[in-house]
Chain A
Amino acid sequence: MGAIVLAVSSCGSKLPEAPAAVADRFYHAIAVHDAAAACGLLGPQTRHEVEQSAQASCAAAILDQDIPAADSVVELRKYGTHAYARMNGDTAFLAEFGDGWKIVAAACTSQDQLPYDCKVKG
């Protein structure tokens, strides 16, 4: 119920799901160094946390967060207001806000049973 599991082959099938499109746009913005676009795709808490930890604007700090290059969504899972996007190169977590899906955590490394260790999170 409410769970959508999409496994996508590495040939890059187009995903209609909003969270996948947001994840794609975010990593594309990081890849082309479009800091403003990347920041616009972050959730408010996450953006605030980036600014707090860097003591700088999000646009000035986001490209220095060691977010790995990632180019396509390999697996997307959506449950209610939260989603997880496993990218070819990184894992990101998303949440649904009034103005659409936003990245709430990125540059995440799996820690088995523990929560992912994410360099960018809210």
Chain B
Amino acid sequence: MTRVRGFVRTNSLSLVFGVLFLGALVGQAFAGLAEFNDGQVADGLATISFGRYVTSADFAVDVTENWQSEYLQFLLYIVLTVWLVQRGSPESKPLDQAGRESDEDQKVGAYAGPDSPHWAKVGGVRTRIYSSSLGLVMGAVFLACWLVQSVAGWSAYNEQRLKQLQDPQSWLSYVGSADFWSRSLQNWQSELLAVGSMAVFSIYLRQRGSPESKPVGTAHDATGIEG
């Protein structure tokens, strides 16, 4: 019991986000089903079941268009903050540390400690891959989600076109269509706004105790200091 409590306490951030994610996803599924079936009824068509909806292209495109944009946002943030800095922001490195930094700073190869991950110690290709593994995985998940969005969006778009007695389009036509780019860009702009504004707001505003904020009494121009 104590071990379980300890596990929950020391992993509370990922556990709480996991539960909130599942709750929101289930909520989205029910709301999306209701919206889909409203449209079906209005068009004199048959309603569909919950199971049918959550395996439909309509649900898949709504889910993945948001997923891809979140992973793109964090990919950009992870990679761009290697080189780009923001004076006064806790989201930025100190102004003089822009770049990939030295092996000593990054504790790789000869500078690795006894508790460093194995691939950080071994050098060569494995250390180079491991040194970019966070960005590589976030980028791979982004591309996978964007690809699924394109396929699911294509299917949902063609379902709408058939409903309107129009010819279905090819996948290639769809990825050049206004629907695909509208779905992608509307998500991208909101993610970029949120992350950019957080980097700037955190110069002047504080959240006591949060590692995303500077300590409350820290000067506005202090950069790269997290609370």
Contact = CB atoms under 8 A, between A and B. Distances in A.
Contacts of A1: 57, 60, 148, 151-152, 154-155
Nearest to A5: B168
A83 B92 CA distance: 52
A43 B44 contact: yes
B61 to A, nearest CB: 9
B90 to A, nearest CB: 41
A2 B59 CA distance: 12
Among B46, B56, B156, B164, find the residue whose CB has the most chain A CB atoms closer than 10 A: B46
Contacts of B165: 93, 105, 108, 115-116, 118, 121
Interface residues of B, number: 25
Contact of B162 (A43, A79, A110): A79
A40 interface: no
Chain A interface: which size bin? 20 to 34
Interface string B46-81: 101000000011101000000000000000000000
B26 to A, nearest CB: 21
A3 B45 CA distance: 19
Among A80, A110, A118, find the residue whose CB has the most chain B CB atoms closer than 10 A: A80
Interface string A77-121: 101111110000000010111100000010010100111101001
24 contacts: A1-B57, A1-B151, A2-B57, A2-B152, A3-B154, A3-B155, A77-B158, A79-B158, A79-B159, A79-B162, A80-B56, A80-B58, A81-B40, A81-B48, A81-B159, A83-B162, A93-B162, A96-B46, A105-B165, A108-B165, A110-B167, A114-B166, A115-B164, A116-B166
